[in-house]
Amino acid sequence: MSKGGRPGLPASQKQLQGTFRADRVRSGIDYELITEIPKPETWLTTGGKKYFRNFCALFIHHKILSVGNVQEVAIMSEAWDKYIESCKKLKKEGTVITTSKGFKMMNPLVTVRNQALKDFRERAAMFGMDPVSNQKISKHVRQDDDPFDELLRKYDQG
């Protein structure tokens, strides 16, 4: 269920707009970032392990994989593998099957496929893998100064 009202802005954007107040900042838990691809969970399928490694590499590159969310990547990877396998089976069997009594009905794999896609999309949104959720993910903040920062400070003071 969604919360009513305007969506919250990141603190960095509020600072740029001049509306930042420290008493309104939501503090979260800062988990340690993971810099190497972790070993996949044993309960993952073979395909799930492959996708786990791929997603971990992507999230490590973007500096969003931490010890606090690596399990979400495992669940997301398993859901994606289930989606791919369901699609392959549906391609062979078709979306409509005939029962032993001759009735036509929707293949149960359609439901499995749809649920797997829903599960994947929920987890993927946590990592900003769609345009809307990407805007909500806080980006990695640059720590080092460059010559342009010095120029900005000069003009801010004068």
95's tokens: 């979306």
117's tokens: 């896609």
For residue 99, the Cα-to-chain-centroid distance in whole angstroms is 39
Calculate the CA dihedral of residues 109, 93, 107, 114 and round it to 10 degrees.
30
What are the two backbone dihedrals, phi and then psi, of residue 119, each rounded to the nearest 5 degrees? -60, -45
Under DSSP, the state recorded for 24 is G
Which element (helix H / strand E) includes 104? strand 104-106
pLDDT digits (tens, 9 = 90+) for 78-114: 999 999 999 999 999 999 999 999 999 999 999 999 9
pLDDT digits (tens, 9 = 90+) for 58-74: 999 988 999 999 999 99
Mean pLDDT of 36-40: 96
Q: What angle do CA 67, 68, 70 make, to 5 degrees?
A: 65
Res 139: pLDDT? 56
What are the two backbone dihedrals, phi and then psi, of residue 140, each rounded to the nearest 5 degrees? -65, 125
pLDDT exceeds 90 at position 36 = yes
**Helical ranges in the chain per DSSP H:** 11-17, 46-61, 70-93, 108-126, 131-136, 147-157
Spatial separation of the C-alpha atoms in residues 92 and 98, rounded to whole Å: 14
